[in-house]
Amino acid sequence: MKLNQVLSIVNQVEKSKFISCLDRLCSDAAKNNKKLAKTIDNIDGQIKNASGSEITQLFNTVRDFFKESVKEQILMSSAQLNLLINLLSRDGNCVARISWIETLYAKEWKELSKLSKDLLTCIKQGSPESTFDRNKALKIYHACMNEAYFNDQKNNRDAKVTDDERSILNVLSNELELTTDECAAIEHLVDVIPENGVLDALNSLRDMGLVFISKKRQEVFVPDEIVTLLNELQGKDLADKYVLRILRTCTDAELSNALKAHGRKIRGISRAEKIQTIIHSGISASKLLSDDIHSPEDTQNQRKERLKQLITDLEIDTEKLGTTLDERIGLILNSLSGATEKEFDSLSASGFKQLLKTLEEHFPTMPAVLKEAFELEPTEIIDTEKLRSLSITPHDILYLLSNDEVKEVRDSIGLSKRGNPRFAILESFANATDKLIENYDALARRDVNALRDAGVEVLEADLGIKFEEVTKAILEVLELNIDEDLRKDLNTTKDKADIVISLSDNDIIIGEAKTCKNGDFAKYSTTSRQVKAYVTRAENQGKRVAQVLIIAPSFSEDFIESAEMDTEVNISLLEAHGLKLILDAYKSKRNPSFAPKLLTKGGLLKAELIAKNI
Decide if 573 contacts 605 (C-beta within 8 A). yes
CA atoms within 13 Å, Cβ hemisphere of 362: 16
567: Cβ–Cβ under 8 A, 6 or more apart, which residues?
none
Q: What is the 3-state secondary structure (H, E, C) of 452-480?
A: HHCCCCCCHHHHHHHHHHHHHHHHHHCCC
Q: In terms of C-beta density within 10 A (0-12 exposed, 13-18 middle, 19 or more buried), how is residue 116 classed?
A: buried
pLDDT at 44: 54
pLDDT the model gives residue 290: 94
180 neighbors 281 (Cβ within 8 angstroms):
yes
pTM of structure:
0.79
What is the strand order of the sheet 219-221 is part of? 95-97, 219-221, 212-214
As a whole number, mean pLDDT of residues 131-156 equals 89
Beta carbons of 137 and 123 less than 8 angstroms apart: no
Whole-angstrom distance, CA of residue 578 vs CA of residue 440:
10
Distance CA 184, CA 24 (A): 32
Closest CA to 446 of 422, 434, 464, 433: 464
Q: Give the range among 45-49, 358-362, 508-512, 565-569 with minimum mean pLDDT.
A: 45-49
Tell me the pLDDT band of 612, cut-offs 50, 70 and 90: confident
Q: What secondary structure letter does DSSP report for 609?
A: H
Q: How far apart are CA 253 and CA 266, in angstroms?
A: 10
Report the pLDDT value the prediction gives residue 88, as an integer from 0 to 100: 94
Q: What is the reported pLDDT for 222?
A: 96
The predicted pLDDT at position 42 comes to 64
Q: In Å, how far from its chain's centre is CA 172?
A: 33
Asked which of 50-54, 60-64, 113-117, 500-504 is least confident by mean pLDDT, the reply is 50-54
Q: What are 368-382's pLDDT values in tens digits?
A: 999 999 999 999 989
Which has the higher per-residue pLDDT, 290 or 155? 290
Q: Check pLDDT > 80 for residue 31.
A: no
Q: Cα–Cα distances in Å, from 526 out to 112, 388, 428?
A: 58, 32, 38
| pLDDT digits 0-9 by tens, 214-241 | 998 899 999 999 999 999 888 888 999 9
Inform me whether the pLDDT recorded for 367 exceeds 90: yes
Of the listed ranges 129-138, 441-450, 452-461, 507-516, the one predicted with least confidence: 129-138
- Report the pLDDT averaged over residues 88-92: 91
In the predicted structure, residue 48 carries a pLDDT above the cut 80 = no
Q: Which residue did the predictor score with more confidence, 332 or 35?
A: 332
* Structure confidence at residue 51 (pLDDT): 76
Residues constituting the chain: 614
pLDDT at residue 337 is higher than 60: yes
Average confidence (pLDDT) over 274-299: 92
* Mean pLDDT for the chain overall: 89
Output the CA–CA distances (angstroms, integers) from residue 291 to 172, 259, 307, in the order listed: 17, 12, 11
Contacts with 591 (C-beta within 8 Å, 6 or more apart), sequence order: none
